[in-house]
């Protein structure tokens, strides 16, 4: 444990608390004030930070930071309480709920921002201490696992992108959300490379592209099939790779045959000439990458959309080829690690399936319990929230590090559900919109105040070193979870000297799994500037590039094509709701904005959400730049100031989702779930827009 005080002047290498890039930064405390700078030695961001990273230190001594537990009193007011009293109240409520309604009446929601150690421990806490089936978080990825046998964000270091002749990027606007990535895309372009961006909006990323395919929202799979059709028709596929390394191609080829260019133009709105250009750029390149972001994934056809793009990568023989492959651009800080180590409802540590008998035996042995006592898969994040107070549903909920009252689709409905809980416990540093509804709020140490590992979008396990101690009297999540487990009667299995002690157990738990961390250690991470999983022994350095041996970790050893047909989103425009609504991020904010809305520089840069609309739509509705619009969907309505911009499609409105209450974009979004990943359709719904007339 380091001996730093909050007065230290030594720069400590750590990482940004926000997105999946996990930029390296150094933190210095001078006269009690923390500041950060980019860490030139960390190879992912090479010293660059975005505005969120630069201002992250403001969270540490923020005046609104919670420094004492809060307990709701008999008059319904949250008042300060001691730790013993607060923790006992949580344990008592969870325990009595389970006695009365059964074990699965208690739910646990984690977060894509928790370290691997915390995500692992929260999964263990839910399954061993609470023995509930209902633990999840708001992240998912299923396509990579199905097609390639593994889901690891990028299968290569980000730096490889600079050497790809062509990159196809669907539904990710990295220039806005993780700007340091653009150093690689800029270098790729300087090297003569081409970037093809698929997005309904002309984002900064799309503006930097060689070719922008501006598709109609929800037509990703049709577009992918159309590209595959042209690749097959024009003889641009890698037949040897398909024959030797894959299975299921014939059905996919037959399906793609019905996606001829005229039809795809009609379905997607992308001109045939652009389809042709994209297919030939991809098919004639010596190296190419197919990357998908949250755009295609956060749809009710999300898994199918991604599988359709993986089909392109397989048809071109990209996985395992030099400077080539398929990758997923994850968004949340530890969205990747969070699902690898047991925080996901259907998974156990090491990316094991919870319904796999061998995986269950392995984890039961690591945790010292009988396999029969290990719960099965329960409800996914949205289903769990929607089940609250319904017959057989959740009655008590513990939320660790997420703000579901803002980040869930149909947010006002979910807020009502949260209000109807018998008990809500929230672990957070700030009084988020979810914490405001809680019966007990437990304040917690922040990113720079504790050790822990994160897994970035490359599958690189990085180490956030504790740079300064938390404020007096603040516990970290690991201490909170362990104390709760002990209060719930688990005397063994929840005592750790440090985060590194939890990591040592995580390594054992993950050994032999797909996401095998058994050979990763804190020392190795520091010596190598991160370790790419799988890393199966102390002697190996890890696996920066996957599939180099041509073998896929599927039952047959071959990658699997999936025949995908275009299906429309759950909601399409209609006479009453004539436009598409899509949601997303801004450069200056992160997720539900619990942290970033409290940072002055960020709040000033983007003080409120604005509805982006096209100039022609503005003219048609008689809307001017200073006006507000009323957006109404089948769930709710909200008003927003407009931003008139030609970067949006004429048939689409974009609203960022970082705000709560009256300004919450998620009041409007659809809770239609992907049938496989259970991911809600955040990206598309039908909306009616009217101009707000001031009285
Ligand atoms: Fe880097 Fe993301 Fe942090 Fe910005 S928010 S500094 S891109 S990790």
Instruction: Count CB atoms within 10 A of the CB of residue 468.
Output: 24
Q: Of all protein residues, whose CA lies closest to atom 7 belonging to ligand 1?
A: 178
Q: Is the pLDDT of residue 2 over 60?
A: no
Does the C-beta of 21 come closer than 6 Å to ligand 1?
Answer: yes
- Decide if pLDDT at 167 tops 90: yes
What confidence score (pLDDT) does residue 335 get? 86
Q: Please tell me the distance from the alpha carbon of residue 600 to that of residue 394, in angstroms, as a whole number.
A: 37
> In whole angstroms, what separates CA 64 from the centre of its chain?
26
Q: How far is the CA of 538 from the centre of ligand 1 (A)?
A: 30
The pick from 36, 39, 45 for probing ligand 1's pocket by mutation, whose C-beta has the most ligand atoms within 8 angstroms, reads 45
Does residue 237 have a pLDDT over 90? yes
Rounded (10°) CA dihedral 363, 366, 367, 368 = 110
User: What 8-state DSSP symbol labels residue 273?
Assistant: H
53 in contact with ligand 1, CB cutoff 6 A: yes
169 in contact with ligand 1, CB cutoff 6 A? no
pLDDT at 6 over 80: no
pLDDT of 3 strictly over 50: no
Model confidence over 642-688: pLDDT tens digits?
Answer: 999 999 999 999 999 999 989 999 999 999 999 999 999 999 999 99
Is the beta carbon of 52 within 6 A of some atom in ligand 1?
A: yes
Task: Say what the pLDDT of residue 9 is.
Answer: 64
Across all residues in the chain, what is the average pLDDT? 95
The DSSP 8-state label assigned to residue 680 in this structure reads B
Distance 49 CA to ligand 1 centre (A): 6
Q: How far is the CA of 181 from the centre of ligand 1 (A)?
A: 9
Name the helix (H) or strand (E) containing 27. strand 24-30
User: In this structure, are residues 564 and 309 in contact, taking their beta carbons and an 8 Å threshold?
Assistant: no
52 Cα–ligand 1 center, Å: 6
Q: Which residues pair with 642 in a beta bridge?
A: 611
At residue 695, the pLDDT reads 54
Instruction: Tell which atom from ligand 1 comes closest to the C-alpha of 590.
Output: 5
426-442 residue pLDDT tens: 999 999 999 999 999 99
Rounded CA-CA distance 259/365 in Å is: 50
Whether the CB of 18 sits within 6 Å of ligand 1:
yes
Residues 326 and 319: beta-carbon distance below 8 Å: yes
CB-ligand 1 contact for 16 (6 Å cutoff) = yes
Query: Residue 218 above 60 pLDDT?
Result: yes
Quote the percentage of the chain above a pLDDT of 70.
98
Whose CA is closest to atom 6 on ligand 1? 53
Ligand 1 atom nearest the C-alpha of 45 is 1
The answer to whether the Cα torsion of 240, 243, 245, 248 is positive or negative is positive
**Chain segment 105-141, per-residue pLDDT in tens:** 999 999 999 999 999 999 999 999 999 999 998 776 7
> Is there an atom of ligand 1 within 6 Å of 196 CB?
no
Q: What is the pLDDT of residues 491-503, one digit of tens each?
A: 889 999 999 999 9
The tokens for 508 are 């054992």
The confidence band for 330, taking pLDDT boundaries of 50, 70 and 90, is confident
The Å distance, Cα 678 to ligand 1 centre, comes to: 27
* Closest Cα to atom 1 of ligand 1: 23
Mutate to test the pocket of ligand 1, among 14, 15, 16, 599 (most ligand atoms within 8 A of CB): 16
pLDDT tens, residue by residue, 556-595: 999 999 999 999 999 999 999 999 999 999 888 988 888 9
Per-residue pLDDT reduced to its tens digit, 591-624: 888 899 999 999 998 999 999 999 999 999 999 9
pLDDT of residue 544: 97
Distance from the alpha carbon of residue 19 to the mean position of ligand 1, in angstroms: 5
pLDDT of residue 5: 56
pLDDT at 389: 87
pLDDT of residue 8: 59
Using the CB atoms, write b or e for 51-80: b if 16+ within 10 Å: bbbbbbbbbbebeebbebbbbbeeeeebee
pLDDT in tens, 268-310: 999 999 999 999 999 999 999 999 999 999 999 999 999 999 9
Across the range 82-88, mean pLDDT stands at 98
Q: Give the number of other CB atoms < 10 A from CB of residue 403.
A: 24
pLDDT of residue 339: 85
In the reported structure, the alpha carbon of residue 173 is separated from the centroid of ligand 1 by a whole-number distance in angstroms of 14
Distance (angstroms) between ligand 1 centre and the Cα of 546 equals 25
* Predicted local distance difference test score (pLDDT) of residue 477: 97
C-alpha distances in angstroms, 246 versus 114, 147, 184, 558, 581? 36, 9, 30, 5, 38
Q: Which residue's C-alpha comes closest to atom 2 of ligand 1?
A: 19
Mean local confidence (pLDDT), 535-555: 95
Atom of ligand 1 nearest to the CA of 51: 4
% of the chain surpassing 90 pLDDT: 91
Report which of residues 3 and 648 the model is more confident about.
Answer: 648
């Amino acid at each position: 444990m380091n001996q730093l005080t909050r007065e230290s002047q030594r720069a400590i290498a750590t990482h940004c608390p926000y997105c999946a890039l996990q930029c390296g930064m150094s933190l210095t405390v001078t006269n009690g004030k923390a500041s950060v700078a980019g860490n030139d030695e960390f190879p992912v961001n090479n010293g660059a930070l975005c505005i969120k990273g630069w201002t992250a230190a403001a969270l540490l001594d923020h005046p609104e930071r919670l420094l004492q537990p809060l307990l709701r009193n008999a008059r319904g007011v949250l008042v300060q309480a001691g730790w013993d009293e607060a923790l006992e109240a949580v344990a008592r409520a969870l325990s009595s709920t389970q006695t009365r309604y059964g074990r699965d009446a208690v739910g646990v929601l984690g977060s894509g921002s928790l370290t691997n150690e915390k995500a692992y421990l929260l999964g263990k806490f839910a399954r061993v201490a609470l023995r509930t089936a209902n633990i999840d978080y708001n992240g998912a990825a299923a396509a990579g696992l199905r097609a390639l046998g593994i889901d690891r964000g990028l299968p290569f270091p980000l730096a490889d992108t600079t050497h790809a002749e062509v990159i196809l990027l669907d539904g990710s606007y990295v220039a806005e959300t993780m700007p340091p990535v653009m150093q690689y895309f800029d270098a790729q372009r300087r090297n003569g490379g081409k970037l093809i961006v698929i997005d309904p909006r002309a984002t900064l990323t799309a503006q930097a592209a060689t070719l922008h395919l501006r598709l109609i929202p929800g037509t990703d799979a049709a577009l992918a099939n159309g590209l595959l059709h042209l690749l097959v028709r024009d003889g641009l596929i890698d037949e040897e790779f398909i024959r030797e390394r894959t299975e299921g191609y014939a059905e996919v080829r037959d399906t793609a045959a019905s996606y001829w260019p005229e039809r795809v133009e009609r379905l997607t709105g992308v001109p045939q000439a652009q389809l042709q250009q994209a297919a030939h750029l991809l098919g004639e390149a010596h190296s190419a990458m197919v990357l998908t972001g949250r755009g295609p994934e956060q749809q009710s056809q999300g898994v199918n959309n991604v599988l359709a793009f993986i089909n392109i990568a397989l048809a071109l023989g990209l996985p395992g080829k030099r400077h080539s492959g398929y990758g997923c651009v994850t968004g949340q800080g530890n969205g990747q690690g969070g699902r690898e180590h047991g925080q996901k409802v259907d998974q156990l540590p090491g990316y094991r399936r919870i319904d796999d008998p061998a995986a269950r035996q392995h984890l039961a042995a690591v945790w010292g319990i009988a396999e029969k006592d290990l719960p099965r898969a329960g409800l996914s994040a949205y289903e769990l929230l929607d089940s609250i107070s319904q017959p057989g549903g959740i009655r008590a909920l513990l939320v660790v590090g997420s703000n579901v009252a803002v980040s869930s689709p149909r947010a006002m409905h979910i807020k009502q559900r949260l209000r109807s809980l018998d008990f809500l416990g929230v672990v957070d540093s700030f009084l988020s919109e979810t914490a405001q509804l809680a019966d007990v709020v437990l304040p917690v140490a922040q990113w720079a105040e504790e050790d822990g590992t994160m897994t970035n979008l490359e599958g690189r396990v990085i180490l956030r070193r504790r740079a300064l101690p938390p404020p007096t009297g603040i516990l970290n999540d690991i201490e909170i979870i362990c104390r709760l487990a002990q209060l719930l009667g688990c005397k063994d299995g929840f005592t750790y000297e440090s985060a590194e002690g939890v990591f040592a157990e995580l390594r054992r738990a993950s050994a032999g799994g797909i996401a095998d961390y058994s050979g990763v250690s804190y020392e190795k991470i520091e010596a190598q500037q991160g370790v790419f999983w799988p890393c199966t022994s102390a002697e190996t350095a890890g696996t920066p590039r996957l599939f180099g041996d041509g073998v896929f970790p599927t039952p047959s050893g071959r990658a699997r094509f999936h025949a995908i047909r275009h299906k429309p989103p759950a909601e399409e425009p209609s006479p009453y709701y004539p436009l598409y609504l899509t949601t997303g991020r801004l450069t200056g904010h992160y997720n539900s904005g619990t942290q970033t809305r409290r940072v002055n520089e960020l709040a000033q840069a983007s003080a409120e959400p604005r509805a982006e609309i096209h100039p022609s739509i503005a003219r048609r509705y008689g809307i001017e730049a200073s006006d507000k619009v009323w957006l109404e969907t089948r769930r709710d309505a909200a008003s927003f100031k407009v931003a008139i911009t030609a970067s949006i499609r004429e048939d689409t409105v974009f609203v960022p989702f970082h705000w709560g209450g009256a300004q919450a974009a998620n009041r409007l979004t659809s809770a239609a779930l992907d049938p496989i990943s259970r991911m809600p359709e955040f990206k598309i719904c039908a909306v009616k827009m009217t101009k707000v007339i001031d009285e």
